[in-house]
Structure 1
């Protein structure tokens, strides 16, 4: 594990898209990531990291994808393929079970929920960077979905903005091992200061 320390004064946990549609049985995307998510115990690991972060008194931030509402994309002159797919499938639809956070991942008092992102990066066109800076956060621990889209885009953007990022490699999932490998072994090592397992991260937080 890289020699990264986590002080509650400047470190936060960033939770990306723990929606029912992603990580609950019956969710619109669950069937596509189920094999990978169950193979690495993604959901239990995400909960384990979240619990450890709260116990260590780290601030918790949420970077959530835009929950579809009628009228969101109608009339747009251009739309990214990933946005068109979400529009057609009504992924994370506002007011539906799929657009709610999975039980156990609900924000608690004091947590910060950034404005919803429209494509992949939790930073693009949101107030996440503003909120982090106003709370004095310089280091991020990242968990959530999906490894090669929202997670990778958010970690890359964080690096561009000067944040030191730790990626928890078994607290994320993807459509296949190929995409997981591309994100975690090929791309993210160029942007994350540390890529660690849940056990390594929890041990580090508990030994602070």
Structure 2
């Protein structure tokens, strides 16, 4: 089926967690996702899509994970396992290299960085939905880390809020092929309108 080019007035690229701890050599979680990320060219594809979106003057939004600070979780009564892991490992620690964005992903002037999410969804307890609505966005192109946690949770929430979603399947990664397949082949197809490759998405950007 031939797909129509994206309507640039209502479409945005959403970039999830392109942090050094995830996708840079020496990052705290890079060793765990490296095999999957390198197999599908995750990082180069993310950069290609981001640069194509900028060339096409597509709006770019960032959904970034909360950067750990001492005292964040110590008084919480309930804490999810994924948050316990972040606390233990001090993943994305504020003020450290690991919490910074991988080179090439630094937001440009006019690009929107939503408030940081504490768990997995880029929407839960953040201003992402408000920012998208203020810019009249209805369609999202989503890429980033990790497929079965933040990417999937954000896509599910986006669908609940009424957004149309395209997921870029070779611009994400996971800890294992099993978790990657569960996200992209079992769960996300129930919520994303389309699951495409980076090259397919770029071809639908008019100016690219």
Question: TM-score range, shorter-chain basis?
Answer: over 0.9
Aligned to 2:17: 17
Are the aligned partners of 1:2 and 1:193 in contact in 2 as well (CA < 8 Å)?
no
Q: What CA distance in whole angstroms lies between the structure 1 residues aligned with 2:64 and 2:199?
A: 25
The Cα shift of 1:146 comes to 0.1
Contact 1:4/1:194 (8 A) holds in 2: no
**Runs of 4+ with deviation above 6 angstroms:** none
Displacement after TM superposition at 1:3 (Å): 2.9
RMSD between aligned residues? 1.2
Does 2:139 correspond to 1:125?
A: no
What is the CA-CA distance between 1:4 and the residue it aligns to? 5.1
**SS in structure 2 opposite 1:61?**
strand
2:183 counterpart of 1:183: yes
Partner residue in 1 for 2:198: 198
Secondary structure of 1:86's partner?
A: helix
Name the count of aligned residue pairs. Answer: 208
* Equivalent residue number for residue 73 of structure 1: 73
Given that residues 2 and 194 in structure 1 are in contact (C-alpha distance below 8 angstroms), is that contact kept between their aligned partners in structure 2?
Answer: no
Deviation (angstroms), 1:203? 1.2
Counterparts of 2:61 and 2:17, CA distance in 1? 11
Give, in whole Å, the separation in 2 of the partners of 1:180 and 1:33: 10
Matched, 1:162 2:162: yes
Cα deviation 1:166-202 (Å, max 9, x = unaligned): 0000000000100110000111111000000011111
In the superposition, the TM-score normalised over structure 2's length comes to: 0.98
- Residue 56 of structure 1, CA deviation: 1.0
Q: Which residue of 2 aligns with 1:135?
A: 135
- 1:113 aligns with 113
* CA distance in 2 between partners of 1:15 and 1:128 (Å): 12
Structure 2: unaligned runs, 5 residues or longer: none
Q: Distance in 2 between matches of 1:96 and 1:55?
A: 31
In the alignment, structure 1 residue 28 sits paired with structure 2 residue 28? yes
Deviation readout 1:83-128 (Å, 9 max, x if unpaired): 0000000000000000000000000000000000000000000000
Deviation, 1:15, is 0.2
TM norm structure 1? 0.98
Take 1:128 and 1:174, find their aligned partners in 2: how far apart are those partners? 23
| 2:82 match | 82
Partner of 2:173: 173
1:205, CA displacement in angstroms?
A: 1.1
Deviation at 1:206, TM superposition (A): 4.2
Describe the shift of the 1:193–1:78 C-alpha distance in structure 2 as closer, same or farther (beyond 3 A).
Answer: same
Distance 1:34 1:62 in 2: 22
Aligned partner of residue 172 in structure 1, secondary structure: coil
Q: Would you say the 8 A contact 2:20–2:27 is kept in 1?
A: yes
Unaligned runs of 5+ in 1: none
